[in-house]
C-alpha cells in the first residue's frame, strides 16, 4: 500500500478528514480524462477511473464539499471556504458516462472539448504513440530525439517518445508519427476506427442539456507554446468559434492542451485575452486561493489518475496542499 493510500485510509478510518478539511481555503479543480479501461489502441495514462469508481468519488466529494462549476464567478467571493470543481478534458465519448453520473446527483461538471476530434474523428497523437510504442525498439537519432533512444521498457519507451512529441513536434505531428511507424515497423492506426471514440455535436449539446459547462480545448490539441502566435490564435479562436456555432452561446473558458507550465506562454495569454476567454486552466497541480488576484489565465488543476482509489480522491479534497501539490502531480 502506498503512503498516499495509507494516509487516505487513516483519514477515512479515524474521521480525521473533517479536521484536515479545515487546513485549506479556496477552490480545488480536479481534472479527469477517460473513463473505463484502456484497449491496445489507447494511452493507458489517459484513463482516470472506471465509471463505477467515478460515481463513488463523486459521492464522497459531494458529501464533504460544495461542487461548483469551474467557470463560476462565485467561488472567489463569499460562500463556503472550500469548494471543488470537476473538469473533464478532450471530448471522448466515454465522458458522457461521467456527465450522466454528475447529472444524476444534480451536480455540475466542466467539459473541455477538442473540436477537431468532434468534426473529424481520428486517433489522438498520444493514442497513436501508445500504439506505436507497444514493443520497445531502438530509435535512430532524429530531429526529435537527437541522441536516438535505447528504451529499457515499453512504459519508458512510450513516455520518452510522448515527451519528445510534446517538446518538438510542433506543426510536424504527422511527420513525427509517420517516422515512428517506420522505425517501429507498426502501422499507423486506422482513422476510420476512431469514429466511436469521440463525442458527436449532439453529445456536446446533450452535455449542456444535462447542466454541464462546456469550454474549449483547441482544434487539434497541440502544445500551444511550440507554435507561432498566429497558429496559437487559430487553434484557440477556431475551437471557441466552433463551439459557439454549435451551442449557440458564448464560450469563455479554455483548458490548455497538456497544460504543463511550459505548454503555454505570454503569447498564449495574449490570445486568451483577445479571444474573450475569461478563465484558462492549466494542469500541473495546485489549489486556487480565494483572492481576486489569482491569475485568471492559469487556474490550477490537479489530475485524478487510475492509481487513485475513491478514498485517495476524498483525501485529495481534504489535504490538497499535500496531495495535489505541483510536486505530487509531476
Ligand atoms: Zn487534453
- pLDDT bin (cut points 50, 70, 90) of residue 291 is low
What is the CB neighbour count within 10 angstroms for residue 75? 22
Distance 257 CA to ligand 1 centre (A): 5
CA distance 190 to 308: 32
Distance 89 CA to ligand 1 centre (A): 5
Tell whether the model's pLDDT for residue 78 goes beyond 80. no
- pLDDT score recorded for residue 299: 95
Q: Residue 241: which of 256, 252, 232, 257 has the closest Cα?
A: 252
Phi, psi for residue 148 in degrees, rounded to 5: 70, -170
- Percent of residues in the chain assigned helix, strand, coil, to nearest 5: 45, 15, 40
Distance 260 CA to ligand 1 centre (A): 11
Distance 124 CA to ligand 1 centre (A): 10
Adjacent-strand bridge partners of 215: 112
CA distance 104 to 15: 27
Distance 275 CA to ligand 1 centre (A): 19
Tell whether the model's pLDDT for residue 1 goes beyond 90. no
Domains and CATH numbers, the chain: 3-122+201-329 (3.20.20.370), 125-184 (no CATH)
Sign of CA dihedral 304, 105, 63, 12: negative
pTM, two decimal places: 0.94
CA distance 26 to 287: 7
Distance 88 CA to ligand 1 centre (A): 9
Kind of pairing between the strands at 279-281 and 253-255: parallel
Question: pLDDT for 109-140, tens place per residue?
Answer: 999 999 999 999 999 999 999 999 999 999 99
DSSP 201: H
Question: pLDDT for 11-34, tens place per residue?
Answer: 888 878 888 888 898 999 999 999
- pLDDT score recorded for residue 81: 85
Amino acid at each position: 500500500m502506498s503512503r498516499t493510500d495509507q494516509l487516505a485510509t487513516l483519514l477515512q478510518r479515524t474521521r480525521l478528514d473533517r479536521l484536515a478539511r479545515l487546513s485549506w481555503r479556496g477552490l480545488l479543480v480536479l481534472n479527469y480524462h477517460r473513463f473505463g479501461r484502456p484497449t491496445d489502441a489507447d494511452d493507458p495514462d489517459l484513463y482516470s477511473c472506471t465509471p463505477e469508481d467515478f460515481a463513488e468519488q463523486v459521492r464522497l466529494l459531494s458529501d464533504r464539499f460544495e461542487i461548483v462549476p469551474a467557470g463560476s464567478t462565485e467561488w472567489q467571493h463569499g460562500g463556503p471556504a472550500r469548494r471543488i470543481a470537476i473538469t473533464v478534458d478532450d471530448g471522448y465519448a466515454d465522458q458522457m458516462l461521467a456527465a450522466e453520473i454528475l447529472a444524476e446527483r444534480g451536480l455540475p461538471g466542466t467539459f473541455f472539448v477538442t473540436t477537431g476530434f468532434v468534426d473529424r474523428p481520428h486517433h489522438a497523437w498520444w493514442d497513436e504513440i501508445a500504439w506505436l510504442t507497444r514493443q520497445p525498439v531502438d530509435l535512430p537519432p532524429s530531429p526529435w530525439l537527437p541522441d536516438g533512444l535505447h528504451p529499457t521498457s515499453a512504459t519508458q519507451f512510450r513516455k520518452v517518445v510522448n515527451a519528445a512529441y510534446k517538446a518538438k513536434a510542433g506543426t510536424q505531428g504527422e511527420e513525427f508519427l509517420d517516422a515512428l511507424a517506420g522505425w517501429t515497423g507498426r502501422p499507423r492506426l486506422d482513422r476510420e476506427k476512431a469514429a466511436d471514440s469521440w463525442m458527436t455535436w449532439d453529445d456536446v449539446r446533450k452535455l449542456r442539456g444535462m447542466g454541464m459547462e462546456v469550454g474549449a480545448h483547441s482544434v487539434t490539441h497541440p502544445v500551444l507554446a511550440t507554435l507561432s502566435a498566429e497558429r496559437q490564435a487559430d487553434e484557440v479562436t477556431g475551437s471557441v468559434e466552433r463551439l459557439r456555432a454549435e451551442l449557440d452561446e458564448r464560450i469563455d473558458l479554455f483548458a490548455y492542451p497538456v497544460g504543463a507550465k511550459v505548454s503555454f506562454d505570454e503569447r498564449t495569454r495574449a490570445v486568451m485575452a483577445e479571444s474573450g476567454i475569461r478563465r484558462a486552466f492549466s494542469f500541473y497541480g495546485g489549489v486556487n486561493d480565494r483572492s481576486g488576484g489569482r491569475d485568471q489565465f492559469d487556474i490550477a488543476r490537479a489530475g485524478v489518475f487510475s492509481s487513485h482509489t475513491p478514498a485517495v480522491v476524498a483525501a485529495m479534497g481534504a489535504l490538497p496542499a499535500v496531495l495535489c501539490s505541483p510536486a505530487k502531480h509531476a
